[in-house]
Structure 1
Amino acid sequence: MKSTYEALLSVAEVVPTTIVWGNHDYKLWKKVKIPVLVTDSFVSNNIYYCHGWRFDLQQMFGHWLYGWLVDKFPYLYQKLIKTPFELKIEGKNYRQRIEKIHEKAREFVNKEGLDYLIMGHTHEPVGDDGKLFDCGDMIDSLTYVVIEDGRPRLERMP
Structure 2
Amino acid sequence: MLSLENKIPPPLLTLFTAAAMWWLSLFTSPVELTSTVKIFSVLSFIFVGALFALLGIISFRRAKTTINPLKPETTSSLVTTGIYQFTRNPMYLALVFFLLAWASYLASVWAITLIFLFMMYMQYFQIAPEEKALARLFNGEFTQYKKRVRTWL
Please confirm whether the aligned pair reaches a TM-score higher than 0.5, indicating the same fold: no
Normalization by structure 2: what TM-score? 0.29
Relative to total residues, which structure has the larger strand share, 1 or 2?
1
Normalization by structure 1: what TM-score? 0.29
| Higher RCO (CA 8 Å, separation ≥ 6 residues) | 2
Larger Rg: 2
